[in-house]
Amino acid sequence: MDDNYSKVLLDESEMPTQWYNIIPDLPVPPPPPLHPGTREPIGPDDLAPLFAMGLIEQEVSSESYIDIPGEVLDIYRLWRPSPLLRARRLEKALDTPAKIFLKYEGVSPAGSHKVNTAVPQAYYNAKEGITKITTETGAGQWGSAMAFATAQFGLECEVWQVRASYDQKPYRKTMMEIWGATLHPSPSDLTEAGRAILAADPNSPGSLGIAISEAVEMAVQDENTRYALGSVLNHVLLHQTIIGEEALLQLAKVGETPDVLVGCTGGGSNFGGLSFPFLREKLAGRMNPTIRCVEPASCPSLTKGEYRYDFGDTGQLTPLVKMHTLGHTFIPDPIHAGGLRYHGMAPLVSHIYDQGLVEAEAIHQTECFEAAVLFARTEGIIPAPEPTHAIAAAIREALRCKETGEEKVILTALCGHGHLDLASYEKFLAGELVDYDYPAEKVAAAMAQVPVID
């Protein structure tokens, strides 16, 4: 390849045809999810009212590789393989000897990596005769992805969107409606969970935890409806591994291996998707990258949360999972990266962090937006607020290389574009962006609500 390449592409015929399940390769298996009532490990049947059986099988699978169904590959080909970008202009602006690579997932129809799991989730539900999906959305990315995916398979889609983002991002709503989904701001008066929150606070800005409770409550009431989650769960991270598998092939094409891999973590899916194939290579001794999660300073579930069994939602309807958590009742400050405003972290990411296999750091949003504007001015792409965290972390690393003279290869995921997040940039450019610190008291209050389980 020409030495001045700006992006590394794969042919459609080179697209990976299997997802990678990291669980069998982990030195210690992750702890099992528990039934919210009995607090005993749950079996597939406990999850059946919520998820399609094809997805439950993947959730608990001990196979290392799972074939991607042909119908899913066909839809993936609308935008996959996604490009691997080399940020030469950013490197030059930073005057760093480091090489910065970004796996760009903003090329998908909904503009983020979320479609990688929305499509197989819709596929398995449709295959099993389910007619409707309920789900939640924070920033609107997941709701858009699911609206697109359900349209592909002729399923109905009903979305509870966190109130704060429903009001802030009207175009996400339009996008979901174009693909045929029905939207409700959350908390809503359509569910018991929503009514309880509204009774306590009629002006509640909502949270992902509340919206999840609402979507779950609606799904379990109808035998032809299932719920879909856009992050956190094993099967979601599994579907996202196509990102890392492609990136491995792309880096190999230009003869590079990463020294540092950073990814933003909300529920952990784009990070897991990018990093797990590289962690497999690391555990097998074929490369040795430092792998680091980046989270918002205002919602630092890994760096400040406790590794405990907790509920995935505010209404305590989901199974108890062992994860780094700030408490299921915690409502994060209104940072612009709505997709990173979640109280917990994927059990798999929490487990590998607990095992010392990956690192984590937390960054304030002003530094993230500064990094994103520099990125936009050099590389052109305007990132979604969530991956501004990944870019800020990549820039920190590149600047350390400038100090030491190390020519490190840095890899990250630019997991979505920010074309529908311009209001956030407007605030930043006007100097009105607020940094929120670690909300110690709010977290302590929320942690007091977390059940004590040995």
| Residues near ligand PLP, by CB under 6 A | 112, 114, 139, 141-142, 231, 264-271, 339-340, 384, 386-387, 415-416
C-alpha to C-alpha distance for 328 and 379, rounded to whole angstroms:
38
CB of 189 to ligand PLP, least distance (A): 26
41 contact partners, CB below 8 Å, separation of at least 6:
32, 33, 34, 35
C-alpha to C-alpha distance for 76 and 240, rounded to whole angstroms:
12
> What is the number of alpha carbons within 13 Å of residue 91 lying toward its C-beta?
18
State the angle between helix axes of 141-153 and 115-127 in degrees (0 to 180), rounded to the nearest 10: 40
Of 293 and 401, which CB lies nearer to ligand PLP in the complex structure?
293
C-alpha to C-alpha distance for 343 and 207, rounded to whole angstroms:
9
Of 319 and 387, which CB lies nearer to ligand PLP in the complex structure?
387
Residue 140 near residue 177, CB atoms below 8 Å:
no
CB of 224 to ligand PLP, least distance (A): 27
- Exposure string over 2-32, b if 16+ CB within 10 A, otherwise e: eeeeeebebeeeebbeebbbbbeebeeebbe
Question: Angle at CA 449, nearest 5°, toward 448 and 452?
Answer: 80
C-alpha to C-alpha distance for 134 and 229, rounded to whole angstroms:
9
- Which three-class secondary structure state does DSSP give residue 117? helix
CB of 211 to ligand PLP, least distance (A): 13
CB of 175 to ligand PLP, least distance (A): 13
CB of 387 to ligand PLP, least distance (A): 6
* Residue 112 main-chain phi, psi, to 5 deg: -150, 180
Of 91 and 295, which CB lies nearer to ligand PLP in the complex structure?
295
CB of 18 to ligand PLP, least distance (A): 21
Of 198 and 302, which CB lies nearer to ligand PLP in the complex structure?
302
CB of 105 to ligand PLP, least distance (A): 7
CB of 147 to ligand PLP, least distance (A): 13
C-alpha to C-alpha distance for 410 and 412, rounded to whole angstroms:
7
Q: Which of 208, 230, 264 is nearest to 386 (CA)?
A: 264
Neighbours of 287 (CB within 10 A): 16
C-alpha to C-alpha distance for 368 and 420, rounded to whole angstroms:
17
CB of 269 to ligand PLP, least distance (A): 3
For 57, the token pair is: 């099988």
**β-pair partners for 66:** 19
C-alpha to C-alpha distance for 356 and 377, rounded to whole angstroms:
36
- Which three-class secondary structure state does DSSP give residue 105? coil
CB of 107 to ligand PLP, least distance (A): 12
Of 246 and 386, which CB lies nearer to ligand PLP in the complex structure?
386
Max Cα–Cα distance, the chain, nearest Å: 63
Of 46 and 296, which CB lies nearer to ligand PLP in the complex structure?
296
191 contact partners, CB below 8 Å, separation of at least 6:
213, 214, 217, 218
Of 33 and 267, which CB lies nearer to ligand PLP in the complex structure?
267
Of 198 and 299, which CB lies nearer to ligand PLP in the complex structure?
299
The owner of tokens 């045809």 is 17
Of 244 and 266, which CB lies nearer to ligand PLP in the complex structure?
266
CB of 318 to ligand PLP, least distance (A): 16
